[in-house]
Amino acid sequence: MARASIPRLPDAELPWTGSLPGADLIRLLVLGDSTAAGVGADSQSEALPGSFAREFGDRFDRGTTWQAIGENGATARDILTRFIDEATTNRYDVVFLTIGANDALELRSRRAFARDVREIVHRLRSANPDALLLVSLMPRFDRFRSLKGPLRWNLALHAASLDDAARAAVRGLDKVFALPKPPPYTPTFWSPDLFHPGPAGYREWAEFVLDSVPLSLLAPLRRQYSRRG
């Protein structure tokens, strides 16, 4: 019912790989659902990968090479069954996993969602022993203007339950950080469907992420530049 009421926007145009020139390139993977696919932006340069790359340049004076993997509508189970092999083929310094909204929309159970998120994180960690793994879970459905009445509140309650279970599943894992629940969305955050971020929203999201990560986890990104420079 919720999906039927949301206009379907296209994915970001291919390619989903790219780079921002600079010293000592950070290797970035963005993995997940429609926000990994860049829905709401014309290109991945305007979506999460490019937004993170610009933040890395501003904050760490480093360039970035990126890859995005995922699909509009993907659940955590889809990532495990269809995308995790590709996501663990190359090595990365930072992995951003954005997952959960579709699990909430499909009313998946707490146990199944938490199990799948933990398995995704373990697979990513095995392939990238030294990477910083950032996990972005549920959006704040109660703040989505595109959702109305009881649907908004019921979906928000279920999403909050899934969110809590997944956070518990990854808590304490080395170099894994589950992002805080998002702050209030700004008027400029949304794409025309009022469900996905637009280019400004992706920029705001990347800023929020890096403002939220503990400095101790970001320190290696700074130290690597100093050491190699």
Instruction: Enumerate domains of the chain plus CATH numbers.
Output: 14-217 (3.40.50.1110)
Residue 229 has pLDDT above 80, yes or no: no
Higher pLDDT, 166 or 3: 166
As given in the structure block, the two tokens for residue 142 are 């109660």
Whole-number pLDDT of residue 3: 54
- Record the pTM: 0.94
Question: E-assigned strands of 77-175?
Answer: 94-98, 132-136
Alpha-carbon distance 96 to 12, whole Å?
A: 17
What confidence tens digit (pLDDT) does each residue in 19-65 have?
999 989 999 999 999 999 999 999 999 999 999 999 999 999 999 99
Residue ranges of alpha helices (H) inside 61-148 are 76-78, 84-87, 101-105, 110-127
Residue 226 has pLDDT above 50, yes or no: no
Place 2 in a pLDDT band, splitting at 50, 70 and 90: low
